[in-house]
Amino acid sequence: MFAAVMATPLRSPILTTPRVRHRKSIEKLRPDQLKALRDGFAAIKKLHDTNGFWFWAELHGAPKNKCEHSPENGYDNLFLPWHRAYLYRLELALQTKVPAATLPWWDWPASRTSGGIPAAYEDLAGELNPLAGADFPPRIAELTAAEGMPTNTWREPGDPSRLPSKAEVNSILELKNFDDFSKTLEVQLHNRVHGWVRGSMGIVAIAAYDPIFWAHHTMVDRLWALWQTLHSSRGPRPGVWKRILRGGLDLTVGDVLDTHALGYDYAASTANRVVDS
């Protein structure tokens, strides 16, 4: 037995851990990657179980209202950890149906000059684009209809020049204190982009039903990952690492501090060569 084990060729320990996937800018997805994303969203929209799109969308706002945004007191802000876990769970649902699907990030500064809403999230001529919008579940549709609103997601974007600039993003990345960084990122950039898209994205209760919500929050998560690298810091103080992220995400703050532990990283580009040795 021992000899058999010893005879097993040595393998890199990394092969025993989940592969790290790279989330990329929506503008830089290859056609096959964009297709995987679209196929993934199309697949989970058909589900009504814990991999279903509605299951996750309704957790953020109506009817479950479990999302974390910055508290009045200004400290122990779980906005970033909660949304990282939230993205992770939806990405797992996507990958359960389409293994190659990864969540892309919406490069807000790039969209200032490329027309605003990324083309991948716009309607397609003569073809259904699952990223262009979504129906609300019946009980939410009843409520929106009662308010004179559509029964599916809608957008009313502003002038693209009002999206955050590269300089604004960089100035926030320079903030050294995590609570300061998190609060400023949330209020000055995250909230602003929600209000810029307007429509259902501008309403906390129904924002997560719009597929672009997930690209928007992946950008927010990316900025936290960049901040962690720039400042050699996880962010939240250790006293909150054991806190459970609510709403059935089944993860603690400590679980989501390292994107590699969750099996992903952010990249501008990647290149791979398969080596047969």
Partner 1 sequence: MERYATPADEPFAVPVWEGQPDFYRADLQFHGVGHRGDSYEGRVFFDAPDATPATPLELDAGYAGSFYVFGHGPCFGDEGHCEVPPGPIHPFDYRTVHHLAPQSMVVTVTEAVKRVIAAGKSEFAVTVVPTNVRDEEVGDILHFERLSLVTYD
59 vs 262, beta carbon nearer partner 1:
59
Interface residue with partner 1, options 72, 269, 274, 277 (CB under 8 A): 72
Q: Interface with partner 1 includes 24 (CB under 8 A)?
A: no
Smallest distance from partner 1 to CB 190, Å: 7
Q: List C-alpha distances in Å: 192 to 34, 54, 157, 164, 214.
A: 26, 25, 12, 8, 16
> 59-73 burial, b for 16+ CB within 10 Å, e for fewer?
bbbbeeeebbebeee
The residue to which tokens 């009045």 are assigned = 72
Smallest distance from partner 1 to CB 244, Å: 9
Structure tokens at 217: 């929050």
Whether the upstream peptide bond of residue 118 has omega within 30° of 0, thus cis, is no
Q: Considering only CA atoms, which of 203, 183, 163 is closest in space to residue 57? A: 203
Q: Interface with partner 1 includes 104 (CB under 8 A)?
A: no
Q: What is the DSSP letter of 153?
A: -
Radius of gyration of the chain (CA): 20
Near partner 1 by CB under 8 A, which window of 37-45, 156-164, 226-234, 248-256?
156-164
d(CA 96, CA 93): 5
Structure tokens at 220: 């927010």
Smallest distance from partner 1 to CB 176, Å: 12
Q: Considering only CA atoms, which of 222, 232, 212 is closest in space to residue 23? A: 222
55 vs 266, beta carbon nearer partner 1:
55
Scan residues 167-226 and list those touching partner 1 (CB under 8 A): 183-184, 187-188, 190-192, 194-196, 198, 202-207
Smallest distance from partner 1 to CB 152, Å: 15
Contact criterion met (CB below 8 Å) for 198 and 155 = yes
Q: Considering only CA atoms, which of 31, 21, 15 is closest in space to residue 94? A: 21
Q: Interface with partner 1 includes 112 (CB under 8 A)?
A: no
Interface residue with partner 1, options 20, 110, 143, 267 (CB under 8 A): 143
Scan residues 228-257 and list those touching partner 1 (CB under 8 A): 246
d(CA 111, CA 102): 20
42 vs 203, beta carbon nearer partner 1:
203
Smallest distance from partner 1 to CB 162, Å: 7
Smallest distance from partner 1 to CB 62, Å: 4
Number of residues that bind partner 1 (CB under 8 A): 39
Near partner 1 by CB under 8 A, which window of 93-101, 142-150, 250-258, 262-270?
142-150
Q: Around 70, how many Cα atoms within 13 Å sit in the side-chain half-sphere?
A: 18
Binding site for partner 1 (CB under 8 A): 61-63, 65-67, 69-74, 140, 143-144, 147, 156-159, 162, 183-184, 187-188, 190-192, 194-196, 198, 202-207, 246
